[in-house]
Chain A
Amino acid sequence: SQQGEEDPQALSIQEGENATMNCSYKTSINNLQWYRQNSGRGLVHLILIRSNEREKHSGRLRVTLDTSKKSSSLLITASRAADTASYFCATDAFGETSGSRLTFGEGTQLTVNP
Protein backbone atom coordinates (compact mmCIF):
# COMPACT_ATOMS: atom_id res chain seq x y z
CA SER A 1 0.00 0.00 0.00
CA GLN A 2 1.12 3.54 -0.61
CA GLN A 3 2.32 5.53 2.39
CA GLY A 4 1.42 8.92 1.16
CA GLU A 5 -0.45 11.01 -1.27
CA GLU A 6 0.86 13.66 -3.59
CA ASP A 7 -1.09 16.73 -4.49
CA PRO A 8 -1.80 17.71 -7.17
CA GLN A 9 -1.82 14.58 -9.33
CA ALA A 10 -0.98 16.73 -12.35
CA LEU A 11 0.39 20.26 -12.72
CA SER A 12 0.88 22.27 -15.90
CA ILE A 13 2.80 25.56 -15.84
CA GLN A 14 4.73 27.88 -18.13
CA GLU A 15 8.51 28.07 -18.26
CA GLY A 16 9.86 30.47 -15.66
CA GLU A 17 7.00 29.90 -13.22
CA ASN A 18 7.40 28.13 -9.90
CA ALA A 19 5.98 24.66 -9.28
CA THR A 20 4.87 23.43 -5.88
CA MET A 21 4.05 19.81 -5.11
CA ASN A 22 2.80 18.49 -1.81
CA CYS A 23 3.14 15.12 -0.13
CA SER A 24 1.38 13.70 2.90
CA TYR A 25 2.32 10.54 4.75
CA LYS A 26 0.84 8.43 7.52
CA THR A 27 3.53 7.13 9.86
CA SER A 28 6.52 8.57 11.68
CA ILE A 29 9.62 8.74 9.53
CA ASN A 30 13.43 8.83 9.63
CA ASN A 31 13.56 10.92 6.50
CA LEU A 32 11.66 11.91 3.38
CA GLN A 33 13.12 11.91 -0.09
CA TRP A 34 12.01 13.37 -3.40
CA TYR A 35 12.68 11.63 -6.71
CA ARG A 36 12.11 12.56 -10.35
CA GLN A 37 11.18 10.12 -13.09
CA ASN A 38 11.20 10.87 -16.81
CA SER A 39 8.82 8.92 -19.06
CA GLY A 40 8.74 5.67 -17.07
CA ARG A 41 12.50 5.42 -16.74
CA GLY A 42 14.62 5.15 -13.59
CA LEU A 43 14.21 7.37 -10.57
CA VAL A 44 16.65 10.22 -10.02
CA HIS A 45 17.26 11.24 -6.42
CA LEU A 46 16.67 14.96 -5.89
CA ILE A 47 16.89 15.72 -2.19
CA LEU A 48 16.63 14.11 1.24
CA ILE A 49 15.31 15.84 4.35
CA ARG A 50 15.64 14.28 7.78
CA SER A 51 12.87 14.22 10.35
CA ASN A 52 14.68 16.80 12.51
CA GLU A 53 15.04 19.25 9.62
CA ARG A 54 12.37 21.73 8.55
CA GLU A 55 13.73 23.09 5.28
CA LYS A 56 16.40 22.21 2.78
CA HIS A 57 17.65 23.77 -0.45
CA SER A 58 19.46 22.36 -3.45
CA GLY A 59 19.89 24.63 -6.45
CA ARG A 60 16.39 25.53 -7.69
CA LEU A 61 14.79 23.06 -5.28
CA ARG A 62 13.36 23.87 -1.88
CA VAL A 63 11.88 21.19 0.34
CA THR A 64 9.98 21.73 3.57
CA LEU A 65 8.93 19.16 6.12
CA ASP A 66 6.24 19.49 8.78
CA THR A 67 6.31 16.36 10.92
CA SER A 68 3.40 17.55 13.06
CA LYS A 69 1.20 17.58 9.95
CA LYS A 70 3.01 14.65 8.33
CA SER A 71 3.49 16.62 5.16
CA SER A 72 6.22 17.91 2.86
CA SER A 73 6.37 20.22 -0.10
CA LEU A 74 8.75 20.48 -3.04
CA LEU A 75 9.18 23.86 -4.71
CA ILE A 76 10.92 24.13 -8.07
CA THR A 77 11.74 27.73 -8.88
CA ALA A 78 12.14 29.24 -12.36
CA SER A 79 10.98 26.04 -14.01
CA ARG A 80 12.34 24.84 -17.35
CA ALA A 81 10.88 22.55 -20.02
CA ALA A 82 13.47 19.96 -18.95
CA ASP A 83 11.79 19.79 -15.52
CA THR A 84 8.83 18.01 -17.16
CA ALA A 85 8.64 14.67 -15.33
CA SER A 86 6.84 12.76 -12.59
CA TYR A 87 7.87 13.66 -9.06
CA PHE A 88 7.57 11.22 -6.16
CA CYS A 89 8.02 11.57 -2.45
CA ALA A 90 9.25 8.55 -0.54
CA THR A 91 9.49 7.94 3.19
CA ASP A 92 11.91 5.87 5.22
CA ALA A 93 9.88 4.68 8.20
CA PHE A 94 10.92 5.48 11.76
CA GLY A 95 11.76 2.46 13.85
CA GLU A 96 13.40 0.61 11.03
CA THR A 97 17.10 0.80 10.34
CA SER A 98 17.81 3.87 8.29
CA GLY A 99 18.17 2.97 4.64
CA SER A 100 15.43 0.40 4.76
CA ARG A 101 12.42 0.17 2.50
CA LEU A 102 11.10 3.32 0.90
CA THR A 103 7.37 3.86 0.68
CA PHE A 104 6.35 5.99 -2.28
CA GLY A 105 3.38 8.18 -3.03
CA GLU A 106 1.46 8.11 -6.30
CA GLY A 107 3.42 10.98 -7.80
CA THR A 108 2.75 14.36 -9.39
CA GLN A 109 3.04 14.71 -13.16
CA LEU A 110 4.60 18.11 -13.87
CA THR A 111 4.43 19.59 -17.37
CA VAL A 112 6.41 22.75 -18.08
CA ASN A 113 5.32 24.40 -21.30
CA PRO A 114 7.94 26.38 -23.29
Chain B
Amino acid sequence: DAGVTQSPTHLIKTRGQQVTLRCSPKSGHDTVSWYQQALGQGPQFIFQYYEEEERQRGNFPDRFSGHQFPNYSSELNVNALLLGDSALYLCASSILAGGTDTQYFGPGTRLTVL
Protein backbone atom coordinates (compact mmCIF):
# COMPACT_ATOMS: atom_id res chain seq x y z
CA ASP B 1 0.00 0.00 0.00
CA ALA B 2 1.62 3.23 -1.17
CA GLY B 3 1.75 5.98 1.38
CA VAL B 4 1.50 9.68 0.69
CA THR B 5 3.76 10.71 -2.16
CA GLN B 6 4.97 14.18 -3.10
CA SER B 7 6.81 15.62 -6.06
CA PRO B 8 9.27 17.02 -6.67
CA THR B 9 11.62 16.24 -3.79
CA HIS B 10 13.60 19.44 -4.14
CA LEU B 11 12.99 22.64 -6.05
CA ILE B 12 14.99 25.84 -6.53
CA LYS B 13 13.23 28.98 -7.75
CA THR B 14 13.99 32.68 -7.87
CA ARG B 15 12.00 35.50 -6.33
CA GLY B 16 8.87 36.40 -8.27
CA GLN B 17 8.51 33.02 -9.92
CA GLN B 18 5.61 30.63 -9.49
CA VAL B 19 5.77 27.03 -8.28
CA THR B 20 3.46 24.00 -8.26
CA LEU B 21 3.89 21.15 -5.80
CA ARG B 22 2.03 17.86 -6.11
CA CYS B 23 0.67 15.32 -3.66
CA SER B 24 -0.95 11.92 -4.00
CA PRO B 25 -2.81 10.78 -0.89
CA LYS B 26 -2.66 7.40 0.76
CA SER B 27 -4.94 4.86 -0.89
CA GLY B 28 -8.52 5.24 0.35
CA HIS B 29 -8.01 8.74 1.75
CA ASP B 30 -10.23 11.58 0.57
CA THR B 31 -8.77 14.63 2.30
CA VAL B 32 -5.50 16.43 1.67
CA SER B 33 -3.92 19.06 3.91
CA TRP B 34 -0.85 21.17 3.18
CA TYR B 35 1.63 22.47 5.73
CA GLN B 36 4.66 24.74 5.54
CA GLN B 37 7.62 24.02 7.79
CA ALA B 38 10.34 26.64 8.09
CA LEU B 39 13.76 25.52 9.25
CA GLY B 40 13.81 24.78 12.96
CA GLN B 41 10.08 25.25 13.44
CA GLY B 42 6.97 23.13 13.58
CA PRO B 43 4.70 22.77 10.53
CA GLN B 44 2.06 25.43 9.96
CA PHE B 45 -1.30 24.64 8.37
CA ILE B 46 -1.86 26.20 4.94
CA PHE B 47 -5.19 24.70 3.82
CA GLN B 48 -7.19 21.51 3.51
CA TYR B 49 -9.08 20.11 0.52
CA TYR B 50 -12.06 17.76 0.59
CA GLU B 51 -14.40 16.92 -2.29
CA GLU B 52 -12.34 19.17 -4.56
CA GLU B 53 -13.03 22.25 -2.44
CA GLU B 54 -10.95 24.21 0.02
CA ARG B 55 -12.45 23.27 3.35
CA GLN B 56 -10.26 25.19 5.77
CA ARG B 57 -7.50 27.74 5.41
CA GLY B 58 -4.72 28.89 7.70
CA ASN B 59 -3.15 32.31 7.95
CA PHE B 60 -1.49 32.38 4.52
CA PRO B 61 -1.86 35.02 1.79
CA ASP B 62 -3.78 34.51 -1.43
CA ARG B 63 -0.47 33.84 -3.20
CA PHE B 64 -0.95 30.33 -1.86
CA SER B 65 -3.65 28.43 -3.71
CA GLY B 66 -4.51 24.85 -4.27
CA HIS B 67 -6.57 22.33 -6.10
CA GLN B 68 -7.88 18.84 -5.53
CA PHE B 69 -8.62 16.51 -8.41
CA PRO B 70 -11.36 13.84 -8.70
CA ASN B 71 -8.78 11.15 -7.86
CA TYR B 72 -8.12 13.04 -4.56
CA SER B 73 -4.60 14.11 -5.53
CA SER B 74 -3.77 17.73 -4.89
CA GLU B 75 -1.59 20.62 -5.99
CA LEU B 76 -0.22 23.56 -4.06
CA ASN B 77 0.56 26.67 -6.08
CA VAL B 78 2.58 29.62 -4.82
CA ASN B 79 2.76 32.79 -6.91
CA ALA B 80 5.21 35.70 -6.71
CA LEU B 81 7.66 33.75 -4.60
CA LEU B 82 9.41 35.50 -1.73
CA LEU B 83 12.64 34.52 0.00
CA GLY B 84 10.53 33.73 3.08
CA ASP B 85 8.66 31.03 1.17
CA SER B 86 11.75 28.84 1.40
CA ALA B 87 10.63 25.88 3.48
CA LEU B 88 9.69 22.21 3.54
CA TYR B 89 6.16 21.79 2.21
CA LEU B 90 4.35 18.80 3.64
CA CYS B 91 1.23 17.14 2.38
CA ALA B 92 -0.94 15.03 4.67
CA SER B 93 -3.87 12.81 3.84
CA SER B 94 -6.73 11.54 5.95
CA ILE B 95 -10.29 10.20 5.76
CA LEU B 96 -12.71 12.92 6.73
CA ALA B 97 -15.95 11.11 6.02
CA GLY B 98 -14.87 8.10 8.03
CA GLY B 99 -13.97 10.19 11.02
CA THR B 100 -10.35 9.08 11.05
CA ASP B 101 -8.37 11.59 13.04
CA THR B 102 -4.87 10.58 12.02
CA GLN B 103 -3.17 12.52 9.26
CA TYR B 104 -0.45 10.69 7.34
CA PHE B 105 2.36 12.82 5.97
CA GLY B 106 4.41 12.57 2.82
CA PRO B 107 8.19 13.06 2.65
CA GLY B 108 7.82 16.73 1.72
CA THR B 109 9.11 19.03 -1.00
CA ARG B 110 12.06 21.24 -0.08
CA LEU B 111 11.59 24.62 -1.79
CA THR B 112 14.49 27.06 -1.94
CA VAL B 113 13.82 30.59 -3.19
CA LEU B 114 16.91 32.56 -4.25
* Identity of the chain A residue whose Cβ is nearest the Cβ of B105 in the assembled complex: A43
| Number of residue pairs spanning A and B whose beta carbons lie under 8 angstroms apart | 75
CB neighbours (8 Å) of A96 from chain B are: 56
Supposing A41-B107, A101-B33 touch, asked if A2 and B101 sit within 8 A by C-beta, the answer is no
Indicate if the CB atoms of A101 and B58 lie closer than 8 Å: yes
- A25 within 8 A of partner (CB): no
Indicate if the CB atoms of B90 and A99 lie closer than 8 Å: no
CB neighbours (8 Å) of A44 from chain B are: 105
Please encode chain B, from 80 to 114, with 1 for each CB lying within 8 Å of some chain A CB and 0 for all others: 00000000101010111001111111111010000
Of the residues B88, B95, B96, B103, contact of A102 by C-beta under 8 Å: B103
Chain A nearest CB from B102 CB (Å) reads 6
How many residues in A have their beta carbons less than 8 Å from beta carbons of B?
Answer: 29
Indicate if the CB atoms of A42 and B105 lie closer than 8 Å: yes
User: Bound state CA distance, A96 and B90, in angstroms?
Assistant: 21
Supposing A42-B106, A43-B90, A48-B101 touch, asked if A102 and B45 sit within 8 A by C-beta, the answer is yes
* Identity of the chain A residue whose Cβ is nearest the Cβ of B4 in the assembled complex: A42
Indicate if the CB atoms of B42 and A31 lie closer than 8 Å: no
User: Bound state CA distance, A107 and B96, in angstroms?
Assistant: 26
- B68 within 8 A of partner (CB): no
User: Bound state CA distance, A35 and B42, in angstroms?
Assistant: 11
- B31 within 8 A of partner (CB): yes
Indicate if the CB atoms of A98 and B101 lie closer than 8 Å: yes
- List the 10 closest pairs (A to B, CB-CB), nearest first: A104-B42, A43-B105, A42-B107, A101-B45, A42-B105, A104-B43, A99-B94, A99-B96, A106-B42, A42-B108
B interface, CB within 8 angstroms of A: 4, 31, 33, 35, 39, 41-45, 48, 55-56, 58-59, 88, 90, 92, 94-96, 99-108, 110
Q: A35-B105, A96-B56, A101-B33 are in contact. List 9 more A-B contacts (CB 8 A).
A: A31-B101, A40-B88, A42-B106, A42-B108, A48-B101, A99-B100, A101-B45, A102-B92, A103-B45
